[in-house]
Structure 1
Amino acid sequence: MDASALFAFDTHELRPEGRAALDDFVGRLKGATLGMIRAVGHADRLGSEAYNQILSEDRAEAVKAYLVGKGIEPERVRAEGRGVAQPVTKPGECIGGRSAQVIACLQPDRRVAIEVAGTRASTHSGIWPAFDRN
């Protein structure tokens, strides 16, 4: 799924494509004995550091709320934000101000990674790979 599927620029509201991706994710958890799920929100570098920290937290909380709404126990889901601390884009990429081109270039930085710890039907254990979506 494209990195832009969960969130648009400057928002924490889930897009329809994002809800569909999360529905698929929840479906893949069926039959698993879950430990904890961690939703980690991220933001791009545009805007203040404080604003982006809050935005990343809000994105993680939006994913948590959606997962809980789909039947995952709230005590099993932890949401946290990392702000701009862990960009996917490299230094020197996406040069310029707030142009449409730069906003599009920074899209990979606007994401929520989902990490699942648990055992799947007695065959897998440990941390599942991050489910990165924006």
Structure 2
Amino acid sequence: MLKRGGTQLKPFAHLAAAVALAGSLQAVDAQAQVSGYVTDTRGAVATDAFGLCWRTGYWTPAMATAQCDPDLAPKPAPKPAARPAPPPAARPAAPAPAARPPAPPKPVAAKPAPPKRCDANVVLVADQLFAFGSRTINNAAKARLDKDVVGRIATCATLESVVIEGHTDRLGSQQFNQKLSERRADAVKAYLVSKGIAKDKIETIGMGKTVPAKFCPDSKNRKELIACLAPNRRVAVSIKGPAK
């Protein structure tokens, strides 16, 4: 017979205590097999002073819990992502305005035709107008001036200008040829004025021998040289004005 604290225990009390202890141990062992961790009498997982859990000999990685083994415990399945809200229904596009037919092209104004002119350049060989070294106009030359110069001026609505240039060959001095070219130009002007051409519209210029039209070698005799230089002895008449 056992005693506790000086009290005599009856035999049946010893039996009851043993049965209770055995049942408690069986319950703890069953709990350890289920959780894999040491638990207290309340069924909670027992931890040490640092909060670490005690694994039992039954523990396997499949028993890992987030409390004791967060790195081994199965992660909760992620929540399904929320479906995006459907976009607002597109409004039907407004019908495009009916295209206007293109405007007909504007008629292009025709450029006015340039005004007609009575301009002319007439070159008269001096030998046909004057005798050699002379400034007097002969009768044949007057007929030529009437046709080619006066007749041309008659086609002008208004006469803007008439320029008469007198030219000589290189025979003789510069001073003589300059004076001769001026006098021949003046002689043609006087004749045109006698035919009714306005004097203030006519300008005369003596060019002397400065602008030859032909070159002739000095090796020729004088007669041949005079004949060769004939194109240089000339009168040039320039007429300008709008035509009728």
Asked whether the two chains share a fold, i.e. TM above 0.5, the reply is yes
Q: 2:155 aligns with which of 31, 49, 52?
A: 31
**1:1-134 equivalent positions in 2, closer than 5 A:** 3=125, 4-24=127-147, 25-32=149-156, 33-90=158-215, 93-96=216-219, 99-121=222-244
Q: Are residues 104 and 2 of structure 1, via their aligned partners in 2, closer, same or farther at CA, if it must alter by over 3 Å?
A: farther
Q: Secondary structure of the equivalent of 2:239?
A: strand
Q: How many residues align?
A: 119
How far, CA to CA, are the matches of 1:102 and 1:16 in structure 2? 26
The answer to whether the 8 Å contact 1:6/1:17 transfers is yes
Q: Report which of the two structures shows the higher radius of gyration computed on alpha carbons.
A: 2
Measured after TM superposition, the shift of residue 98 of structure 1 is 6.7
Runs of 4+ in 1 over 6 A off after TM superposition: none
1:75-134 deviation digits (Å, cap 9, x = unpaired): 0111110000100112xx24247722111111111111001121111xxxxxxxxxxxxx
Q: Which consecutive residues of structure 2, in runs of 5 or more, have no partner in the other structure?
A: 1-122
How far, CA to CA, are the matches of 2:130 and 2:205 in structure 1? 16
Measured after TM superposition, the shift of residue 8 of structure 1 is 2.4
The answer to whether the 8 Å contact 1:89/1:108 transfers is yes
Amino acid corresponding to residue 138 of structure 2 in structure 1: R
Measured after TM superposition, the shift of residue 31 of structure 1 is 3.3
TM-score w.r.t. length of structure 1: 0.81
The answer to whether the 8 Å contact 2:162/2:238 transfers is yes
Q: Which consecutive residues of structure 1, in runs of 5 or more, have no partner in the other structure?
A: 122-134
Amino acid corresponding to residue 107 of structure 1 in structure 2: A
The answer to whether the 8 Å contact 1:46/1:98 transfers is no
Superposition RMSD in Å: 1.8
TM-score w.r.t. length of structure 2: 0.46
Q: Secondary structure of the equivalent of 1:26?
A: helix
Amino acid corresponding to residue 232 of structure 2 in structure 1: D
Q: Are residues 115 and 2 of structure 1, via their aligned partners in 2, closer, same or farther at CA, if it must alter by over 3 Å?
A: closer
Specify which structure has the higher proportion of strand.
1
Q: Are residues 41 and 16 of structure 1, via their aligned partners in 2, closer, same or farther at CA, if it must alter by over 3 Å?
A: same
Q: Secondary structure of the equivalent of 2:241?
A: strand
Q: Are residues 14 and 82 of structure 1, via their aligned partners in 2, closer, same or farther at CA, if it must alter by over 3 Å?
A: same
Q: State the match for 1:130 in structure 2.
A: none
Higher relative contact order structure (alpha carbons within 8 Å, sequence separation ≥ 6): 1
